[in-house]
Amino acid sequence: MLLRKRQLAGLVLLYISLAGCATVPITGRKQLSLLPQSQVIELSFSSYRQVLQESKLSQDEAKVVLVRRVGRRIAQASDQFLRDNHLEKDLQYYQWEFNLIQDDSTVNAFCMPGGKVAVYTGILPVTQDEAGLAVVLGHEVAHALANHGNERLSQGLVAQLGGVALDVALQNKPAETRQLAMAAYGVGAEVGVLLPYSRTHESEADHIGLILMARAGYDPRAAVPFWERMARMGGGRAPEFLSTHPAPERRIKEIEKEIPEAMKYYKP
């Protein structure tokens, strides 16, 4: 067991030395990103199609239009952010799609790498309006913009599948790899210690999400009442969306500190 741990540690160091570290936009944090983005996107799109096939899409036209309208504005803000920061080459990896899944018992949403987004109807009573929905979609799109899916999938391949390449993992253990990918993208059942997103990722998505919603024309100050409503939900058990988020009081304080930065981008 000790030898295996040393071997895994050696693999991690080798991968880092070969692949280097990526930098998260806005926050500047260094992250492990070992996989070609094209592979991550291909697996993401496949996983997204699987989720939609296994789900019931909402037929409420007004709600669907709402989700897609807010999503389109957040996506445009994300694309413009990349252009403004000379990251136009990354635009090729985003094919934005927003769908509303009919499931009133699930208070959640997710965005897979490449801009594949799903919102569950159970979160709409908490968002209440467009600004509240922009908080959620800004947060989820921020996970994609920050490349959290690649980072977690890289960690998972090293920790759980011995550090093999993604194409080799898919060939040798397709079911396990797809389950790991779904976990890395914030969807599906828990896999090891990688699901849900870490507190670092969640705090980062809060920060980036505020700026995205502000750039999209939504008041970032709407984030505070939204998270207050989320904190009041669920009684003794927090909603899925809060699974490993920072404690509500601390998260709201952090958001309040970050709102002045986001307000610089807000033009109603």
User: 135, exposed or middle or buried, with CB in 10 Å at 0-12, 13-18, 19+?
Assistant: buried
Q: Going residue by residue through the chain (268 aa), what tens digit of pLDDT does each one get?
A: 444 444 444 444 444 444 446 777 777 777 666 677 888 888 889 889 989 999 999 999 999 999 999 999 999 999 999 999 888 998 999 999 999 999 999 999 999 889 999 999 999 999 999 999 999 999 999 999 988 877 777 776 666 655 455 555 556 666 666 666 666 666 654 333 334 557 788 889 999 999 999 999 999 999 999 999 988 875 444 444 455 556 778 889 999 999 999 999 999 8
Structure confidence at residue 171 (pLDDT): 63
Domain boundaries, the chain: 13-196
Structure confidence at residue 42 (pLDDT): 85
In 178-205, which positions are buried (b, 16+ CB within 10 angstroms) versus exposed (e)?
Answer: bbbbbbbbbbbeebeebbbbbeebbbbb
pTM: 0.78
Catalytic residue set: 140
Cis? peptide before 220, omega within 30° of 0: no
Residues 173, 42: Cα–Cα separation, whole Å: 17
Structure confidence at residue 235 (pLDDT): 46
